[in-house]
Amino acid sequence: MKNLKIIDLKDCDKNYFDKAWDIYISSFPSYERRTLSEQKLILEDKKYEARIFIKDNQVLAILFFWHFSKYTFVEHFAINKSFRGQSYGSKILKNFMEEYKNIILEIEPIKDEISEKRYKFYEKFGFLKNEHIHFQVPFRKGDEKFELLLLSLKKLEKKEYQNLYKEMKNSLCI
């Protein structure tokens, strides 16, 4: 992507890491994110990638995702508040979709204008709501699970969904 530098979170300097972490903390509620120590632990997992996008020495966005056997699961995607509304999210997602084909992600159920806007954003890229009742895999043993919408580029059959959820449970919970 023109004028954007992509860096792996585990390879970046402390300044970029801290700014990326600020975006993460400010973009997701506590029950949808990991602690700093948990994040550092999963950065060592070969199936996990955490990318940060840099523009003019500022952290523009974060994109954290997992490589599963048949899918690429986007765990967290957020744009720095000062860069929102400038099509960077669209550009990053479009580029990501060219790199990976079987992408899945979770969003909160549509209940207000913000969640509706988020769904419409992904829908314009071809993401579909799966009809399976889906709960986020808790990041920590003992955490409560909560319902989310699972989006994918093609509808998942029941068996595909069950296999995916099993793989998520085996990878995401620390």
- The CA–CA distances, whole Å, from 52 to 5, 10, 77, 134 equal 8, 10, 10, 28
pTM of structure: 0.95
Q: What is the mean pLDDT of the chain?
A: 95
Confidence band of 140 (pLDDT split at 50, 70, 90): confident
**Which DSSP state fits 108?**
-
Average of pLDDT values for 124-142?
93
**The CATH homologous superfamily of the domain defined by 5-172:** Gcn5-related N-acetyltransferase (GNAT) (3.40.630.30)
In whole angstroms, how large is the CA radius of gyration of the chain?
16
pLDDT (0 to 100) of residue 16: 95
pLDDT (0 to 100) of residue 68: 98
Confidence band of 2 (pLDDT split at 50, 70, 90): confident
Average of pLDDT values for 15-33?
94
Please say if the pLDDT value at position 63 is more than 90.
yes
90: left (phi over 0), alpha (psi -120 to 50) or beta: alpha
